[in-house]
Amino acid sequence: MITVEHLTRRFGTVTAVEDLSFHLERGEVVGFLGPNGAGKTTTLRILAGYLPATSGRAEVAGLDVLRRSLDVRERIGYLPESVPLYREHRVEEMLAFQARLHGMPRREWRRRVPEVLARVGIDERRRSLIGHLSRGQRQRVGIAVALLPAPEVLLLDEPTSGLDPLQRMEMRGLLGELARDHTVLLSSHILPEIEAVCPRVIILNRGRMAADGTPEALVRQLGHATHVRLEALVGADIDAALHTLAGLGGVDRVVDDGPRGLHRSFRILCEQDLREQVGVLAAERGWALRELSWYRPTLEQIFARIALDMDAEERAGRASTTAAPVVAAAGVKAGPGARQAAQAEREERR
Amino acid sequence: MRGTWTIYRRELAGLFLGPLAWVLLGLALCVNGFFFTLYLVGTQGDVNATMMLAQGGSRSFWGLLILMPPLITMRLISEESRTGTLEFLLTAPVSDLAVVLGKLMAATSLLALLWSSILVYAGTLSVLGPAPDWGPVLTSLLGAALLSALFCAIGLMASAGTGTPLLAAFLAFVANVALLSLPFLPGLLGLGPEHLLTRALAEMDVIAHFQASFLVGVLDSRHLLFFLVWTAFFALVATRLLEARRWRG
């Protein structure tokens, strides 16, 4: 339904999107993730026919977005992040305008307007001036406007930004519903939302594709941080303990995190949850356990990893073995603040 | 063209839903009415001379004509670009030209409404005294509408090319003044009446084109075409500038 091949878009000397390629089947629901400035909006704008690409190709429903722009625009429901609506008009009028722009027959849109308004849950405000609506209500009207011509493809740019938690939850429900009968590409940096709604996620970073797959697959592929954490009294011979742990089936590597008081802390890197095996081993050896837990990075942590380019740093050998807690700290919120905090933390560790 | 009419209706509604159009209309009507009375007294009741002065034979008319269109058109594109609704329009299944034409027609309609106040003056005169010659009244109204379209196209061009409404209005105003002053240029340069530039710029004399035909009640295709072609030209430039916005992003 959507095909993007080697898409590049430059603004002067700034490259917003670079050599991006992906494909969406009909009916797929894909989440576009990435920090601010990663190129999500630019890509959506190119697909919506608002921006031309510098090079590369984009197709919607088999039509080139540049050459068959008007045909493509007829098939797309696009909601920009700014939720552009004429504030001086009433909700109904805005929808009527959209219907006329799409050349819908009057009889049809008369029937559909109450339908889509009910669907987004704002039918009681249809006579209200758009300027008088709250941010969340405008967001719904924006979605109603995008939905009205019954487009095959929905492009939603940050549909939940600026909503309160309750509205966000409702929006998530609505997005889930929409996913049933549209091909949807939506961008967000609210990760739980994407995880809840999208079976597939594309992560962009600095205009490039950083990852593409189901959230679980991404966690598996990019995680390489699933581990069992063990804190125990292992006696004086640390090397022997390390060796014993590494000898367990399914263990990739064991990292010694140093003493925690009398206890010693280990990270046992493994793909499968090996808590039971480690527990049995500890019982056999008579180690007094204080902690035995299973760590699996969330999509948020992976996102933060990509956004902060931690993998690259790790490859460069700069990050210490204690990089994992940094990821966890940054994963709470991948905003610029978190970024600074994480950076400061890393500086400290060095 | 598909969508032009829809956009025209939206724009016209948008203009009248804001305060600016009402304020401008009110002020312009006051000015117009004031000068009309002045001309009526000044010509000692010559109704036809008064009508001609009120609709194209005087400075008040041309003053309004170079002031009003920039103020009406300034927001049409640059403001929409700022509020983001331009993104909505430019991703709707209508061409950029349809967007520009719809906006041009809306701005022109607003000004045509202003100029149609001449009908009230002429009607009042017919009821209260000697009726003016209706032929020139109607052709000058048509001419004023065409002139407005020309100046609105220039205004849209400025609005499409700039980021802020105020700058757009200022640029359009300067362009309007420049267009009307073109015929004076050879005189300033000291060129004779036979010089090529003089003759070429005489063809660009907007005021002469208007006064030679519409004002005196003559519908001449040559003058009609002059206005239509130049309006189309500026509308096309505005469309290109709108397109350029996409490239700039």
Q: What pLDDT score does A175 carry?
A: 84
| Domain stops at, among A214, A244, A276 | A214
In a domain, A302, yes or no: no
Q: What pLDDT score does A337 carry?
A: 42
> Is the pLDDT reported for residue A136 higher than 60?
yes
Q: How many domains does chain B have?
A: 1
> Is the pLDDT reported for residue A75 higher than 70?
yes
Residue A70 or residue A219, greater confidence? A70
Average pLDDT, chain B: 90
Q: What pLDDT score does A142 carry?
A: 93
What residues make up the domain containing B204?
A: 4-248
Maximal C-alpha separation, chain B? 60
Averaged pLDDT for residues B45-52: 85
Averaged pLDDT for residues A229-253: 86
Nearest-by-CA chain B residue for A83: B84
In a domain, A219, yes or no: no
- Same structural domain for residues A71 and A177? yes
In a domain, A301, yes or no: no
What residues make up the domain containing A322?
A: 308-349
| Domain stops at, among A214, A241, A268 | A214
- Same structural domain for residues A121 and A149? yes
A174 in Cβ contact with A143 (< 8 Å): yes
- Same structural domain for residues A26 and A95? yes
**Mean pLDDT comparison of A149-163, A170-184, A228-242, B135-149, highest-scoring range:** B135-149
Q: pTM for this structure?
A: 0.82
Please judge whether A85 and B88 are an interchain contact, meaning their C-beta atoms are less than 8 angstroms apart. Answer: yes
DSSP strands (E only) in chain A: 2-11, 14-24, 29-33, 55-60, 63-64, 76-79, 153-157, 183-188, 200-205, 208-213, 227-233, 251-260, 263-270, 288-295
In a domain, A61, yes or no: yes
Residue A345 or residue B221, greater confidence? B221
- Same structural domain for residues A109 and A60? yes
pLDDT band at residue A174 under the 50/70/90 scheme: confident
Q: What is the ipTM of this complex?
A: 0.89
In a domain, A279, yes or no: yes
Lowest mean pLDDT among A133-147, A215-229, B186-200: A215-229
Q: What pLDDT score does B203 carry?
A: 84
- Same structural domain for residues A138 and A253? no
Nearest-by-CA chain B residue for A68: B93
- Same structural domain for residues A157 and A254? no
Q: What pLDDT score does B110 carry?
A: 94
Averaged pLDDT for residues B225-237: 95
- Same structural domain for residues A169 and A193? yes
pLDDT in tens, B193-207: 888 888 888 888 888
Cα of first residue to Cα of last residue in chain B, in angstroms, is: 26
pLDDT band at residue A350 under the 50/70/90 scheme: very low
Averaged pLDDT for residues B125-147: 90
> Is the pLDDT reported for residue A297 higher than 80?
no
CATH of the domain at A41: 3.40.50.300
Average pLDDT, chain A: 82
Q: What pLDDT score does A309 carry?
A: 65
Q: How many domains does chain A have?
A: 3
- Same structural domain for residues A261 and A344? no
In a domain, A221, yes or no: no
- The DSSP string of A3-57 is EEEEEEEEETTEEEEEEEEEEE-TT-EEEEE--TTSSHHHHHHHHTTSS--SEEE
**For an interface test with B, which of A10, A63, A100 has the most B Cβ atoms less than 10 Å from its Cβ?**
A100
Nearest-by-CA chain A residue for B87: A50
**In this structure, which amino acid lies at residue A4?**
V
- Rounded-to-integer distance, Cα A169 and Cα A184, Å: 18
**In this structure, which amino acid lies at residue B145?**
A
Enumerate residues 83 to 122 of chain B having a beta carbon within 8 A of any beta carbon in chain A. 83-88, 90-95
Please judge whether B85 and A85 are an interchain contact, meaning their C-beta atoms are less than 8 angstroms apart. Answer: yes
Q: What pLDDT score does A312 carry?
A: 56
Residue B75 backbone phi and psi in degrees, to 5 = -85, -20
| Domain stops at, among A214, A239, A265 | A214
**In this structure, which amino acid lies at residue A190?**
I
Residue A317 or residue A64, greater confidence? A64
- Same structural domain for residues A249 and A129? no
Q: What pLDDT score does A311 carry?
A: 55
**Mean pLDDT comparison of A168-182, B98-112, B122-136, B195-209, highest-scoring range:** B98-112
In a domain, A303, yes or no: no
- What is the separation of C-alpha B79 from the centre of its chain, rounded to a whole number of angstroms? 20
CATH of the domain at A268: 3.30.70.1340
Please judge whether A73 and B93 are an interchain contact, meaning their C-beta atoms are less than 8 angstroms apart. Answer: yes
pLDDT in tens, A14-56: 889 999 999 999 888 999 888 888 889 999 999 999 999 999 9
Percent of the residues in chain B that have a pLDDT greater than 70, as a whole number: 100
> Is the pLDDT reported for residue A270 higher than 80?
yes
pLDDT in tens, B155-172: 999 999 988 999 999 999
The answer, for A50 touching chain B at a CB cutoff of 8 Å, is: yes
- Same structural domain for residues A290 and A158? no
Residue A320 or residue B188, greater confidence? B188
Residue A180 or residue A321, greater confidence? A180
